[in-house]
Amino acid sequence: MDESINMEYVKVKEKKDNGFGRNNDFLTEDIILTPLYKKIKIDSSIPSCDVLPYNDFRLELFCPECQKRRIFNFQNSSLVRVSWGPRGEQVCNTILNVLHSNNYFSLKAKSDCNHNLLIVFRIVSDNTIEKIGQFPSIYDLNEEINNKQFLKLFDKEYKDYYKTACSLFSFNTCIGALIYLRRIFEKLLLDTFNDNVESLDISLDEFKKLRMEDKVKQLRHLLPQIMFEQGFSQIYSKISDGIHNLSEEECSAMFLVLKAAIEEILIEKMEKSEKIKRQSKISEELSKM
């Protein structure tokens, strides 16, 4: 691998038409969004051009600079070696051949908007690799996180917890990611308490001393009702179990579904407050008639 990489000089074929270059089942958006340091298994018997970019490979990805999906053109990998078979057919070296004789490799791409993508992999063994670096970050390339409309309506503290949770997950730090999901949950309870303090017959100090399940009981009629539905009612205990008892791998397996559940709760909270705003505006206008 070159010691320095100047993306200005990275040559890719920028096709303008819609036809994609060579297909590659390995290099997908999933791989681009896979956390760093997570072991990635590959079938080492397949040709290197089925893993590494070759013959003008292109992939549609979310460009964080443009905040839009763009086509990324990959530089052909110099590790793909093609020779000619006895009947004049193209023969490509196997990926095992590449993995066996290198320690690291990098992929470089440019999008049709001229933004760059660089990924560095470490070769762990003859059938395992891991990403050790990526720019833009996995987190920034994740369209789902960056385009979450509902987050735009929440205050900074919610947004920061949510983004830190996703960011830690992208570094494969999953127990830490769950701690930030728990923070969202706790903030939701505290905000609900503060918003309704006049209608509650308990002080803030008393409330803070309650166990989590008692806090939830106390606020039951004020919280998003989805929190009491099957499965959802266990979110907090699952998150706590993850933080205190489970391994990084077990937490990794739970993270996405717990994140999705927290999102549903936040969405319900948002919809509820929008409904109140909408209705009070109408009632104000009606009273003026």
> Which CB sits closer to Zn ion, 63 or 99?
63
| Pairing outcome for strands 82-84 and 90-92 | antiparallel
> Applying CB under 5 A, what is the total number of residues that bind Zn ion?
5
Beta-carbon contacts of 284 under 8 Å, excluding residues fewer than 6 positions away, are: none
Residue 230 token pair? 């099957």
Q: d(Cα 132, Cα 120) in Å, to the nearest integer?
A: 6
Contact range with Zn ion by CB under 5 A, out of 13-21, 55-63, 232-240, 272-280:
55-63
Cβ contact 226:185 at 8 Å:
no
Is 256 a binder of Zn ion (CB under 5 A)? no
Q: How far is the CB of 141 from Zn ion (least distance, A)?
A: 11
Is 113 a binder of Zn ion (CB under 5 A)? yes
Contact range with Zn ion by CB under 5 A, out of 59-67, 90-98, 151-159, 170-178:
59-67
Q: How far is the CB of 92 from Zn ion (least distance, A)?
A: 31
Is 1 a binder of Zn ion (CB under 5 A)? no
Terminal-residue alpha carbon distance, the chain = 74
Can you spell out the DSSP letters for 187-199? Answer: HHHHHHHHHTGGG
Is 115 a binder of Zn ion (CB under 5 A)? yes
C-alpha 52, offset from chain centre: 23
Could you say which of 14, 43, 60, 65 contacts Zn ion (CB under 5 A)?
A: 65
Percentage helix, strand, coil for the chain under 3-state DSSP, each rounded to 5? 50, 15, 35
> Which CB sits closer to Zn ion, 74 or 121?
74
> Which CB sits closer to Zn ion, 68 or 278?
68
Q: d(Cα 236, Cα 240) in Å, to the nearest integer?
A: 6
Could you say which of 63, 98, 117, 166 contacts Zn ion (CB under 5 A)?
A: 63
Q: d(Cα 46, Cα 99) in Å, to the nearest integer?
A: 12
Could you say which of 66, 204, 253, 282 contacts Zn ion (CB under 5 A)?
A: 66
> Which CB sits closer to Zn ion, 137 or 240?
137
Residues that bind Zn ion (CB under 5 A): 63, 65-66, 113, 115
